[in-house]
Structure 1
């Protein structure tokens, strides 16, 4: 009888724990990841428009895309030349676009998700998922999680503090 009573108490306790445990709400991160998918597609579309108009990828940056009227009118571009940073509407993610000096058939984007609290709540997952699904699979590119800054002249670099969870990564897209 004691064994039977202990079994019932254990089962009831297990059900109480099961039904009352805290589940994090992942709906916001899911929505932000879907938004990232759209933004990656938009950025690549801006680059495609620039290339299809006969322009050279070795001169590409967000300031040029803005000057040529390729970007959305409500996209915000701050800075000049290869240091220009773009933010799309309804987003805290910033994008920096520069030509790939090592390969004239590709371009690089530094993506900064540090101001997105939901993406940063699971930063390792976010960087990995965005890089794998949107950069590698959707755009047939590669991504570098340890790259975290632009040296202002030639390329994105790892300034020594880049990790796969710092909210900064580079996507290299081949055309």
Structure 2
């Protein structure tokens, strides 16, 4: 009998530990998803402010938003010329402003915003989107959370949730689940690259129409 009781206690204890661990995991990913949502909303508000102040949507990027005083003062990490406070002309020869990325404080999610350019791409449903019809009427947002442990711990759930619940439902955008980067090459500048992309690599893109 003592052996049976001790065995039951051991099993119950193991279950409690297991359930507690999963609850902690659920709490961590829920918190990180909510943080990602607030960041997404903040970036969209940056874009709205840029539009309302007369900004050219064919030149939108984080360097431009910084130069225009739209980004918060401490948001300068990975903004190419922000430390020198040098203004750039987006799209000019040798300009690197489109490659500017943004990371919020205490977050490992990297964001990159660029204009919509003329090309065609398939969304996560494999539906072709002709972006040539939307040049100057929105932006492309590349999101890299491959170094964010909580989100990667539940991938591809994280990719699908961020893409479908945020990109599609909140911002009415087109979700690109196999995005790997934004091209900085001549001829394909600012096109979303999907080569070798998967639905579990922690990288997605969202095309938001304004």
Task: Say whether the fold is shared (TM-score over 0.5).
Answer: yes
* Matches of 2:111 and 2:178, distance apart in 1: 16
| 1:3-152 alignment runs, 5 A limit | 17=11, 20-21=14-15, 22-23=18-19, 24=22, 25=24, 26-78=26-78, 79=80, 80-102=96-118, 103=134, 104-152=136-184
Q: CA RMSD in A?
A: 1.8
Paired residues of 2:98 and 2:190 also in contact (CA < 8 A):
no
* Matches of 2:64 and 2:139, distance apart in 1: 14
Secondary structure of 2:102's aligned partner? strand
Shift of 1:171: 0.7
More helix by proportion, 1 or 2? 1
Report the number of matched residues.
163
* Matches of 2:75 and 2:172, distance apart in 1: 25
* Matches of 1:105 and 1:163, distance apart in 2: 28
Q: Is 1:167 paired with 2:199?
A: no
Long gaps (5+) in structure 2: 81-95, 119-133
* Matches of 1:94 and 1:154, distance apart in 2: 16
Aligned residue among 139, 157, 160 for 2:193: 157
Paired residues of 1:63 and 1:77 also in contact (CA < 8 A):
no
Shift of 1:128: 0.5
* Rg (Cα) greater in structure: 1
Shift of 1:142: 1.3
* Matches of 1:64 and 1:173, distance apart in 2: 18
Q: TM-score, normalised by structure 2?
A: 0.72
Long gaps (5+) in structure 1: 1-8
Q: Deviations over 1:88-136 (max 9, x none)?
A: 1121111011000132212101100011100000120111001111111
